[in-house]
């Protein structure tokens, strides 16, 4: 991942650090693969790149400057993919075993763009979880062809196989490669998209309160004691505090905890999102991956496990109509395919960005 070009980046690496790293010189005809690279590269590049590797600040700066696929994420396996593509010759094959997350996560869009412009995505083998005893991630093996276009992406699982038109993922804004979109499923998904508007068109969803954060300058002892949470209403700054488990479909409960709300919190957010008519979405989905949302009107406070949604004042549509749509089975089904975090088998979540993308039927509410 780190190459001989660190010798040209003295602003990042001292001579001592360069000697310690001792990078491999790919282009050397004696110690490297200079003859092969001069002819265009390798016929085949295969590997099991490391992921979750620790990178120090200097290495992160090197990645930012060197790799086109960088976008706010420093997982090492992503940059091994780009490096492998660069090492393969035209028509050559690249095959890695990696987590599947890079196929759909928003901050991996630059890598997918690099893959789409430099290669053809030929085949994807899906193994699921428990491939490695030390890591619980959905695992894939993929095959790319350098400088070649492919009409179809062939997807294989243990029990099935199918083809996905390459245009399906190349034509969406984030270039998301959702291998679960079999042709019949894709037809339904596209029909929903064509006849709907995203929830963000009707209002705004934000992240809940960050009550404590050492980076905001709060005292570590204060954080450890959760000094702004109480078991009774201490004073007029206190309001009821909800946790994610308090939100269910069309109902809300309360554990009895209170929060002292004010500028002393690490990130209190705007007060408007904690009063008046609004929808509350639970971060962790319910049984069978169902969206859990409810309507509230009271003053209530909550953290990251709950996302509030407030309608724009100029929208005439009923907020409870939006609640009914987003709580429906079809929208939860849609979310499992389209929303990267919600569709994960391990630790699925519904975050504010996902909520903004929930589809609402584009109908004329003025028709009698």
139 and 71 in a common domain: yes
146 and 42 in a common domain: yes
- CATH number for the domain spanning 47: value is 3.40.50.150
- Residue whose token pair is 């069309």: 250
What is the pLDDT at residue 7? 46
Indicate the number of domains in the chain: 2
What is the pLDDT at residue 131? 72
- pLDDT mean over 173-196: 89
Half-sphere exposure of 142 (CA within 13 A, CB side): 24
**Any domain includes 220:** yes
124 and 10 in a common domain: yes
Taking each continuous run of H as one helix and of E as one strand, the counts in the chain are: 11, 18
128 and 27 in a common domain: yes
With beta carbons less than 8 A apart as the criterion, state whether 280 and 307 touch.
yes
Q: What is the mean pLDDT of the chain?
A: 88
**Any domain includes 189:** no
**Any domain includes 190:** no
248 DSSP β-pair partners: 251
**Any domain includes 188:** no
pLDDT at 368 over 90: no
151 and 50 in a common domain: yes
172 and 84 in a common domain: yes
d(CA 22, CA 16): 10
237 and 173 in a common domain: no
What is the pLDDT at residue 201? 96
47 DSSP β-pair partners: 96
218 and 116 in a common domain: no
**Any domain includes 368:** no
204 and 106 in a common domain: no
Tell me the per-residue pLDDT of 291-326, one tens digit each, with 9 for 90 and over: 999 999 999 999 999 999 999 999 989 999 999 999
pLDDT at 111 over 80: yes
157 and 116 in a common domain: yes
What is the pLDDT at residue 116? 93
**Any domain includes 186:** no
With beta carbons less than 8 A apart as the criterion, state whether 103 and 178 touch.
yes
**Any domain includes 251:** yes
214 and 142 in a common domain: no
- pLDDT mean over 187-212: 95
**Any domain includes 185:** no
Residues 100, 102, 105, CA angle at the centre, nearest 5°? 110
- CATH number for the domain spanning 346: value is 3.90.220.10
d(CA 66, CA 6): 10
* DSSP, res 245: G
Domain of 271 in residue numbering reads as: 198-361
Tell me the per-residue pLDDT of 202-222, one tens digit each, with 9 for 90 and over: 999 999 999 999 999 999 999
- pLDDT mean over 63-82: 89
242 and 93 in a common domain: no
Tell me the per-residue pLDDT of 219-254, one tens digit each, with 9 for 90 and over: 999 999 999 999 999 999 999 999 999 999 999 999
pLDDT higher for 212 or 41? 212
d(CA 233, CA 194): 49
């Amino acid at each position: 991942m780190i190459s001989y070009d660190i010798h040209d980046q003295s602003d990042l690496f001292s001579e001592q650090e360069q000697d310690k790293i001792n990078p491999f010189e790919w282009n050397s005809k004696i110690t490297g693969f200079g003859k092969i690279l001069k002819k265009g590269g390798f016929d085949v590049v295969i590997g099991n790149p490391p992921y979750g590797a620790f990178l120090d600040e200097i290495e992160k700066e090197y990645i930012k400057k060197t790799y086109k696929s960088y976008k706010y994420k420093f997982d090492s396996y992503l940059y091994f993919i780009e490096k492998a593509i660069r090492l393969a010759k035209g028509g050559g094959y690249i095959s890695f075993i990696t987590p599947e997350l890079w196929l759909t996560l928003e901050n991996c869009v630059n890598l997918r763009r690099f893959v789409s412009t430099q290669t053809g995505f030929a085949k994807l083998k899906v193994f699921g979880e428990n491939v490695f005893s030390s890591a619980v991630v959905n695992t894939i093996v993929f095959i790319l062809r350098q400088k070649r276009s492919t009409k179809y992406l062939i997807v294989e699982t243990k029990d099935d196989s199918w083809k996905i038109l390459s245009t399906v993922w190349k034509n969406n804004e984030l270039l998301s490669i959702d291998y679960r979109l079999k042709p019949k499923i894709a037809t339904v998904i596209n029909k929903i998209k064509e006849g709907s508007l995203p929830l963000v068109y009707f209002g705004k969803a934000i992240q809940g309160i960050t009550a404590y954060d050492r980076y905001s300058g709060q005292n570590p002892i204060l954080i450890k004691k959760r000094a702004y949470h109480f078991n009774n209403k201490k004073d007029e700054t206190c309001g009821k505090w909800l946790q994610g488990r308090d939100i269910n479909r069309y109902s809300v409960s309360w554990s009895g905890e209170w929060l002292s709300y004010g500028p002393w919190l690490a990130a209190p957010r705007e007060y408007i999102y904690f009063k008046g008519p609004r929808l509350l979405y639970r971060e962790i989905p319910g049984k069978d991956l169902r969206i859990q949302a409810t309507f509230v009107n009271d003053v209530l406070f909550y953290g990251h496990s709950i996302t509030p949604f407030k309608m724009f004042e100029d929208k005439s549509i009923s907020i409870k109509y939006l609640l009914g749509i987003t709580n429906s089975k079809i929208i939860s089904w849609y979310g499992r395919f389209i929303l990267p975090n919600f569709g994960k088998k391990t630790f699925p979540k519904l975050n504010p960005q996902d909520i903004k993308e929930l589809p609402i039927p584009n109908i004329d509410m003025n028709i009698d």
